[in-house]
Structure 1
Amino acid sequence: MNFKKTLVALAAAATFTSVASAEELSVAATPVPHAEILEHVKPMLAEEGVELEVKVFTDYIQPNIQVDQERLDANYFQHQPYLDEFNAGRGTDLVTVAGVHVEPFGAYSSRISSLDDLEDGAVVAIPNDPTNGGRALLLLQKAGLITLEDPSKITSTASDIAENPKDLEFKELEAATLPRILDQVDLALINTNYALEAGLNPTEDALLIEGAESPYVNILVARPDNKDSDAMKKLAEALRSEDVKNFILEKYEGAVVPAF
């Protein structure tokens, strides 16, 4: 009997030691697809001794602020141009840990079924942050709807449009709100994560979409002091695993594309 009690005690102690020694990692993410991908790798990380906590945000500002202020360890929601612009504008020093996927940016409409139907003076909504707004304008330029003063500038705004033959009217709005005002404008350029959350299928519903060669790879971001921690390395490895690649391909069917 005493022997059995000893075995139980030893097992309990081993379990406690395992839990106590688990590394904790808190990561901010937008709901789709970032948080879904992180939830998918949770069991994989648990086997590696990392307890992953996913904090969901619906904006692009707080995830960076909370990591910078050490309230969270990392975030996964943005691409490099956005991070560069954020660091420059906010005085932060956040860094890229790993590139994971591309979300081809698209143009959507509830009023027209083809860009050929876009009338003169149509209202076009684009994100109001410099990198995503510039990304939207570059896509419209590629479609021949506008010409920018600097055709390669990724932070162009509506004021940088040199030629606008259809006299399109641009509304610059917060990226997260664009799916909700889709029926109030003629065309809206929407980040894929917000399009997916709104039930839009980029590969079927977008009238115009980036190719898989897009340079806007979504990245895992941390601080200089923790980017090389064991837990962060394990998370980066998991996010770039063959298992995650297959998960992305099967779940998002081209709306999200692995970048590794």
Structure 2
Amino acid sequence: MKIKNWLILLTSLVALALISVGLHTYNTHQKQNTPDQITVGSQGSDYEVWQHIAQSPEAKKMNLKITVKQIADGVQLNNATAENNVNVNAFQSYSYLQAYNKENTKHKLAALGTTYLEPLGIYSDKYDSVKDIPAGATIAIANNPANTSRGLLLLQDAGLITLKKDFGSLGNTKDITANPRGLKFKEIDDTTGPRVLNSVDAALISNTVALDGKLNVLHDSLYHEKINQSTKQNINILATAKGNQHKKSYQKLVKLYHEPAIQKYVEKQYQGTKKEVEKPLSYLK
């Protein structure tokens, strides 16, 4: 009888051990297969891109569950990211991030990786080329620091003005050293670009805003940015709150953006106006 009881006890212990191992294996398996949940904040055409990415087979393969949140104002979107209400944002250039960090020293952001250069363009309803822009012409320029300096650099590259040698990412019209045509500048909300074309001689318009206005920077602008050393700080990035930039799940988003299938969609959907840039962050500095 005692032997029988011993066998029953032994059998029960073995069964419990097997159940315990099975539960551990199941829980480990479940944990490994639980998707990383990430909220991506965006705006304009970037919002559309990330909606597509969130639903893509590539995101599923990387075990990412992406929720895309639209916040139309750039400062508010950066604030939401700095406060961790948004995990990662996708809308801004590296120079825009630098300008934000300079003004928000207690709640800084950090870049995760590069995505593309979306060329800034000079547009006009009155003239067909930069050389036709007359003396005394009025140029509409963005009223936020990062895009103001970016626009002035483009005007210099186009041969319309000269800037001081140490012109920085937060430079403005006071840094113009030569303005042979006596150009005048009208500051505008940079989301209104296409709507002001009939009231100025030319306007500097970001490609996201241009696309919303049915303009293609490669075909409709008088002049636009190219990918080179002078525009490297205008390359768009994925950004997160400072301190979160090393999270592996967030880093996956950079790799995901550059997947060939995703790039094929972006190329077709935006007529080649989002020029892919896959560079280390050190390239931007």
How far apart in 1 are the matches of 2:51 and 2:269? Answer: 13
What residue is the counterpart of 1:25 in the other structure?
38
1:190/1:151 CA distance change after superposition, 3 Å: farther
Report the residue type matching 2:52 in the other structure: H
Aligned-residue offset at 1:85: 1.3
Matches within 5 A, 1:1-260: 21-32=34-45, 34-42=46-54, 43=56, 44-91=58-105, 92-150=107-165, 152-213=167-228, 214-215=231-232, 216-260=234-278
CA RMSD between the two structures: 2.1
Aligned-residue offset at 1:152: 4.4
In structure 1, the residue corresponding to 2:50 is in which secondary structure?
helix
How far apart in 2 are the matches of 1:151 and 1:105? Answer: 21
Aligned-residue offset at 1:46: 3.1
Name which of structure 1's ranges 35-44 and 167-176 shifts more when overlaid on structure 2. Answer: 35-44
The 8 Å contact of residues 167 and 175 in structure 2, kept in 1 or not, is answered as no
The 8 Å contact of residues 68 and 223 in structure 1, kept in 2 or not, is answered as yes
With the length of structure 2 as denominator, give the TM-score of the two structures: 0.79
Aligned-residue offset at 1:160: 1.4
With the length of structure 1 as denominator, give the TM-score of the two structures: 0.86
How far apart in 2 are the matches of 1:210 and 1:219? Answer: 17
1:234/1:153 CA distance change after superposition, 3 Å: closer
In structure 1, the residue corresponding to 2:267 is in which secondary structure?
helix
Name which of structure 1's ranges 82-91 and 171-180 shifts more when overlaid on structure 2. Answer: 171-180
The 8 Å contact of residues 40 and 68 in structure 2, kept in 1 or not, is answered as yes
Structure showing greater Rg: 2
How far apart in 1 are the matches of 2:41 and 2:195? Answer: 23
Name which of structure 1's ranges 108-117 and 42-51 shifts more when overlaid on structure 2. Answer: 42-51
Aligned-residue offset at 1:48: 3.0
The 8 Å contact of residues 45 and 234 in structure 1, kept in 2 or not, is answered as no
How far apart in 2 are the matches of 1:21 and 1:154? Answer: 42
Aligned length: 244
1:58/1:70 CA distance change after superposition, 3 Å: same
- Name the % identity: 30
Report the residue type matching 2:103 in the other structure: G
The 8 Å contact of residues 87 and 94 in structure 1, kept in 2 or not, is answered as yes
Aligned-residue offset at 1:151: 6.3
How far apart in 2 are the matches of 1:37 and 1:253? Answer: 13
In structure 2, the residue corresponding to 1:220 is in which secondary structure?
strand
Report the residue type matching 2:277 in the other structure: A
Aligned-residue offset at 1:207: 0.3
Q: Which sections of structure 2, spanning at least 5 residues, go unmatched? A: 1-26, 279-285
How far apart in 1 are the matches of 2:252 and 2:226? Answer: 30
How far apart in 1 are the matches of 2:126 and 2:190? Answer: 20
Report the residue type matching 2:39 in the other structure: S
Q: Which sections of structure 1, spanning at least 5 residues, go unmatched? A: 1-13
The 8 Å contact of residues 248 and 258 in structure 1, kept in 2 or not, is answered as no
1:85/1:252 CA distance change after superposition, 3 Å: same
CA deviation digits over 1:17-67, x for unaligned, max 9? 79x9333211111221x1222122212223433221111233221110001
In structure 2, the residue corresponding to 1:95 is in which secondary structure?
strand
What residue is the counterpart of 1:4 in the other structure?
none
How far apart in 2 are the matches of 1:74 and 1:149? Answer: 35
Report the residue type matching 1:37 in the other structure: V
Report the residue type matching 1:242 in the other structure: P
Report the residue type matching 2:95 in the other structure: P
How far apart in 2 are the matches of 1:153 and 1:172? Answer: 19
